[in-house]
Copies of this chain bind each other. A is one copy, B any other.
Amino acid sequence: MQAAPELTVSQWFNSNQPLTLRELRGKVVVIEAFQMLCPGCVSHGLPQAVRIAALFPADRVTVLGLHTVFEHHAAMTPVSLEAFIHEYQLSFPIGVDEAGPGSVPKTMAAYGLQGTPSLLIIDQDGLLRANHFGQVPDLQAGAEIASLLSHGTHQEQRELSKEGDPENCGEDGCPVPTPAQET
């Protein structure tokens, strides 16, 4: 299992401050990677993300959008995205994936996404547990998220059995404990 690469975002919508996966440790993080002009994202991916955000309690599951534009860059600028978010009444935080050296933006490249929509599920310890390209049935998405909620954090389990928690500092650094973390 891979530690989920940190988000590299140039601009956030629906959030007063930049968000990082590190600060979201302790919660399950569901990321809907999309492009505003991708038909499958509009018809399936984003509505599913809305349903996920509505079903699961916000203090245990955070839903984020990630605008991973890898084509038609001039057509999907932040100005257009802002109107899109307004018209589609999306209320969860949405980050603009930072432009990379090529056409693929940085976070998209770090996760090796195959395209959009992609549904990423990150557990309470920051491990990437699912990276689905295309349409995911609701039944499966619900099961995968709930499975992580039920297990509790890996860290909790480690805390029960070990002195100290050296593994708490993983490949992607050492997280600062936050109030959102389930302990």
Contact = CB atoms under 8 A, between A and B. Distances in A.
Interface of A: 37-39, 42-43, 48, 51-52, 55-56, 71-72, 74-76, 79-80, 82-84, 86-88, 137-147, 149-151
Nearest to A149: B147
B55 A137 contact: yes
A82 B83 CA distance: 17
A144 B51 CA distance: 15
Nearest to A35: B87
A130 to B, nearest CB: 13
**Max chain B Cβ within 10 angstroms of own Cβ: one of A42, A75, A84, A140:** A75
B38 A87 contact: yes
A72 to B, nearest CB: 4
A43 B141 CA distance: 22
A57 to B, nearest CB: 11
Given A55-B143, A143-B145, 19 more contacts: A37-B80, A37-B84, A37-B87, A38-B87, A51-B137, A55-B137, A55-B139, A72-B83, A74-B79, A74-B80, A138-B138, A138-B139, A138-B142, A140-B142, A142-B143, A143-B149, A144-B146, A147-B147, A147-B150
